[in-house]
Structure 1
Amino acid sequence: MINKIKCNIAKDTSFPFNNNASFCIGTGRMGLALQKAYHDQLKMVQDEIGFSHIRGHGLFCDDMAIYQQYEENGVVKTEYNFTYLDMVIDDYISLGLKPFVELGFMPHKMASDTQTVFYWKGNVTPPKDYEKWANLIKATLLHWIDRYGLEEVITWPFEVWNEPNLTSFWKNADMQEYFKLYEISAKAVKEVDSRIRIGGPAICGVDDERWLKEFLSYCSKNKLPLDIVTRHAYATELPDRVGHYDYQKLRAPEVFLDELKISREIIDSFPEYKGMEMHITEFNTSYTPKNPIHDTNLNAAYTARLLSEMGDTCASYSYWTFGDIFEEQGVAFTPFSGCFGLVANGMIPKPTFWTFSFFKQLTGSCIARDKNYILTKDENDVIRGIVWNPVEEIHGEADIDLSFQLPLDNGKYVIISKLVDENTCNPLKTWLDIGSPNYPSEKELALIKSCANPLTSTQRKTISDKKLDLSFLLKRNALLYFEVKKIHPQVDRGFQPERIQGAHKLETK
């Protein structure tokens, strides 16, 4: 079955498109940045996509070694060690990234209890001494200012903690205790410099409406510093767990997007916070790093729909995560383990890598948008578009035929397209075809990577009636980027394409 979709675009049609897809990218805990493979994956992402900020856990965890205690003359004293922190932030900055700083988790020597989360045991309890917590924040900020300069540090957004509405991330999901943590943390940040932006509550979609309302009410009533609102969003239902893997059904994209609209409405219901930036500091399809969906073409096509609309309500939306050097539930057993990243271990770009690469190319105003496509036009009249066809059902076909009629001046044009689908750009399938080796050889990795790039094609067309008809047939879970721009061909003396094999179909009308 083929579903036909037609779009006739009127001349001079345009409306704003808030394309914030490359503002921020997620990472596993910061200590992983000391690994070479982590750096290599991040560099690959930055070279192709180029995010502006990076956000992850573990700033104050023990593996970063910042908070230290020692005893002198029977008195316990505090000192700070920023050696590893400098290595991490220096590397981020060298790759063109600014930190989106998450203040957490709790250093064990400062923690009030022993509850931890993840394979790497991040402590998720309040501090024994809130004054020491505030001093830790201030010392870290002052160190950053000394090293990178105040004008740089004030461009870094800050948020307090991670998902305090879950008992696994904040002891007892104690709302009032989190509000205390937020108040002291925000005041500590502002004590260093009032221009540093701070926010919260970094909640996920569990009892999120109540948490957001109560948090904003508390900040309003107590006149607390609040510059941005942060939350997380994931698009799957509860998992079916089998061995090392979790399998989940996707929610309808509209349900995911409506959740963000409700948060936006709650923020705007407070006069003092109306229009305040809302940052989604984590989002993905699944919230578990053991769901194979993250490695699929379905993930790429579904995510494209989200990226086309999330900017309507959100100042940013940080995909969780850039790569698969990630250890929340342990070290992955295979290259395709269902982990969150855009890049699989072995430097293999997953299909969703190209979703973000394609959205990075969209500039200018939007001229058409629907649930399967978005088109933009820039100041040079270059038209760029992305089309997608997510199909969650494993069996059966559900292709779509997308047709566009574009109003363009007469002349010669080139049409460039890049296709990512289950036949042309599917490294997961290649890995399975060769026997799903747990530890691929260099030769096997080269083969997998050769099947992980879009199929790129070009064609030339001459327009004589001020319109261009384009049509794309998208198989299940396909994602396609295209670009239409005017060209002025240069012909070398004696060069006759019609006499050259492979070139005589240079142009179509």
Structure 2
Amino acid sequence: MGNEQVATPTGDARADWEARIGLRRHGGSGRDQLPPPTGLRAAGGRGQVTLDWEPVPGAVGYLVHRADRPDGPYLPLDHQGGDVLAVPHPPYADTTGEPGRTYHYAVATLADVDVCGEPGGGVAAASTPDGPAAVRVAVDAAGTDGPVHRPWRRMIGAERLSHLLCADTTGGRPIGAEFTEALSIMRRELGVETVRAHAILHDDVGVYREVDGRPVYDFSRVDEIYDTLLGLGLRPVVELSFMPADLARDPDRTVFAFNAIISPPRDWDRWADLVRALVAHLVDRYGLAEVRRWEFEVWNEANLEVFWTGTREEYLRLYEVSARAVRDVDAALRVGGPGSAAAAWNGALLDHVARTGAPIDFLSTHTYGSPPLDLRPLCEAAGRPDLELLWTEWGITPTHFNPVTDGVFAAAFLLRGMRSAAGRIEALAYWVASDHFEELGRPPRLFHGGFGLLTVGNLRKPRFWALAALARLGDDQLPVTVDGDGAGSLVETWAARHADGRVHVLVWNGTLDQSKAGGAPALERDVRVDVAGLADRPYRVTHWRVDATHSNIEEVWARHGGGDWPDDAQWSLLRAADTLDRYEPDTEARPADGVLGWAFPLPMPGFSLLELVPLD
């Protein structure tokens, strides 16, 4: 497929996707509703109202409601994430309201993503349009809050891995070579360990065909793909999808520009044999010790009609057949699912596993537009608290060609989600690594609202710098207290210490409200950071910044011509600007009574990373 064959936001592929993506296959988990949280309180500030409440045992999340009058009606608050609106925990900043207007808030509890209780009693608050807005951050550099958990390292999402072998170009850039380098950057600069991608069983990989009515396997292209990935120091998440045409019940039902077949198998035994043969081949080629470190995930988002023509019961059968086939090869191989959209079907899969005894090692699911929910209560209720929680897709929006993906707003969103997930989720895989991505066609221009952390050409978007900032944190998490207008809900922080005494303090300002993606003056904050417990010695202090005019490659492109694709001179200019920018020159300072402090404005969206390096 040549570079000219692209899908635009108004193209046929996009229209088909939009028509089908919302068609979810429902089916409640059978769990009882939970009561609303107690202790709901609301505090108005400049441009925002912060809500807080007491956690409810067994909750996977909470849905904030708002009304114009005390007697309602209370409707779910839509922060325009386009997917699950519930959040895993408080506090929650509502920035969608009209400043100065009083709103009434209530919160409902989720026992599962599709089991929402009634909202509780309401509280009233109003934001203000102006006035001072300060946040104070106090870090104890001599203390410890335990190890830093890094859910971004476990996994990253990517275009189907056959793209590694693609010899075509997009925007004049070589697809396979740049996609390979993008994954190398994920490993080298962010410490990512595994890659989750679709379609290892797609017919462009050629694993299965039938000759004279008999199955024929060919894993040579799988070997080429996985050899390349392992050569980068990365391991695959083997998503068992999509269906080979010769094995499909509905071979004409497809998704994406590359025509992935979304059908159940027409012969379940032959599907099991294929899975078993693939896994056995991988063990034979890469060794049992290596493959025991991999994850085998059964299908992708079968709860959406766009990805599965069968019923929920047929997906559960697919899961069981596939999981048993994987384990037939070796009892210690790791398998899980449901890889579902919008955090659905996890309870249903756990119920099925409990009833049938099918093997499972992890739950995998997806969400966009909010931090991931807390699925641990589902595992505990099912008697499986040992299961790993792998969010194998997560991002700011599920919508292709959405401008929010290219800007600074996504960076603050990413920091909020990773901070929320740390310590309660094993993997939070940002979707995806590279804009060399063609679900609805190849990129039509450099900045097109692509899902990638990196552009075509491997320029780093602001949200890449968010992960890069997290990657710089040391291993020892430091105690931090935050107070002021929007503390903990709008402005958050993460601080850590290295063994050599270096200290990093990361502070970001962001809201879930995507109507403010372009920024909002009322949400800017004056931040004061004080780091106590420092040794009596000089420190070199570096202050990096990501905001509208710092570390924002899209803004650089807009200032230097914009358009569809850069020419050679523009590529050189963009590469020179592809850096994490300093907000101010480095300084040297000696603590006064063990304390160093800084004050700076922090826009929304934006983040600052402070590094303190002890000097001899």
When normalised by structure 2's length, the TM-score is 0.71
Distance 2:321 2:186 in 1: 36
- Please tell me whether the aligned partners of residues 427 and 449 of structure 1 are also in contact (alpha carbons under 8 angstroms): no
In the alignment, residue 164 of structure 1 is paired with which amino acid?
A: A
| Deviation for aligned residue 1:358 | 1.2
Contact 2:243 2:264 (C-alpha < 8 Å) held by counterparts: yes
> C-alpha distance in 2, partners of 1:162/1:185?
13
What is the DSSP-based 3-state SS (H/G/I as helix, E as strand, rest coil) of the residue aligned with 1:79?
strand
What 5-or-longer segments of structure 1 have no aligned partner?
Answer: 236-255, 489-509
Q: What residue in structure 1 maps to residue 223 of structure 2? A: 86
Q: Does 1:360 align with 2:471?
A: yes
- Inter-partner Cα distance in structure 1 for 2:159 and 2:214: 31
Query: Is 1:276 equivalent to 2:381 in the alignment?
Result: no
CA distance in 2, matches of 1:332, 1:234: 21
> Contact 2:520 / 2:604 at 8 angstroms: preserved in 1?
no
* Whole-Å separation in 1 of the counterparts to 2:457 and 2:475: 35
Deviation at 1:477, TM superposition (A): 1.8
SS in 1 for 2:557: helix
Shift of 1:366: 2.1
Instruction: For 1:395 and 1:278, locate their aligned partners in 2 and report how far apart those are by CA, in whole Å.
Output: 33
Partner residue in 2 for 1:125: 263
Contact 2:393-2:429 within 8 A present in 1 as well: yes
Tell me if the contact between 1:105 and 1:123 (Cα under 8 Å) persists in the aligned partners: yes
Q: Residue in 1 aligned with 2:361?
A: 227
Give SS of 1:6's match. Answer: strand
Say if 2:144 and 2:476, in contact at 8 Å, map to a contact too: no
Aligned to 2:594: 466
Q: Measure how far apart 1:13 and its partner are.
A: 4.6
Aligned counterparts of 1:19 and 1:45: Cα–Cα separation in 2: 14
Question: Which of 465, 477, 490 is the equivalent residue of 2:605?
Answer: 477
- Which residue is equivalent to 2:506? 386
Q: Which of 47, 67, 77 is matched with 2:214 structurally?
A: 77
Could you tell me how far apart the structure 2 residues matched to 1:134 and 1:339 are? 36
Provide the residue aligned with 1:260 in structure 2: 373
1:154-203: CA deviations, max 9, x gaps?
1001110001111111115x111011000000000000011111001111
Q: Which residue identity does 1:232 align to in structure 2?
A: H
Secondary structure at the aligned position of 1:375 is classed as strand
Structure 1 residues 49 and 17, CA, compared in 2 at 3 Å: closer, same or farther? closer
Query: What is the alpha-carbon distance in structure 2 between the residues aligned to residue 420 and residue 340 of structure 1?
Result: 19
1:135-158 deviation per Cα after TM superposition (whole angstroms, max 9, x unaligned): 111111122112211110110011
Distance in 1 between residues matched to 2:519 and 2:392, nearest whole Å:
34
Alignment of 1:87-486 (within 5 A): 87-113=224-250, 114-172=252-310, 174-205=311-342, 208=344, 211-235=345-369, 256-257=370-371, 260-261=373-374, 263-271=375-383, 273-368=384-479, 370=488, 371-390=491-510, 392=514, 393=516, 394=518, 396-397=520-521, 398-406=523-531, 407-456=533-582, 457-486=585-614
Establish whether residue 31 from structure 1 lines up as the match of residue 162 from structure 2: yes
Task: State the aligned residue count.
Answer: 457
Judge which range, 439-448 or 335-344, deviates more: 439-448
Structure 2, unmatched stretches of 5+, are 1-129, 166-175, 481-487
| Cα contact 1:351–1:452 (8 A) shared by 2 | no
Structure 1 residue 373 displacement after superposition: 1.1
**Which residue type is aligned with residue 477 of structure 1?**
P
Distance 1:427 1:108 in 2: 42
Percent identical: 28
SS at match of 2:247: coil
Q: Which residue in 2 is equivalent to 1:241?
A: none
3-state SS, counterpart of residue 37 of structure 1: helix
Alignment partners' CA distance in 2, 1:361 and 1:24: 17
Give runs of ≥4 in structure 1 deviating > 3 Å.
368-371, 378-381
Shift of 1:269: 1.4
Name the Cα RMSD after superposition.
1.8
Q: Aligned to 1:21, what secondary structure does the other structure show?
A: helix
Q: Report if the CA contact (8 A) 2:139-2:495 is conserved.
A: no
Which letter maps to 1:42?
L
TM-score, scaled to structure 1: 0.86
Instruction: Judge conservation of contact 2:187–2:193 (CA < 8 Å) in 1.
Output: no
- Describe the SS at the equivalent of 2:437: coil
> Counterpart of 1:127 in structure 2: which amino acid?
P
| 1:356-411 CA distance string (max 9 Å, x none) | 11111222232245442111123333221211122652364132222222221211
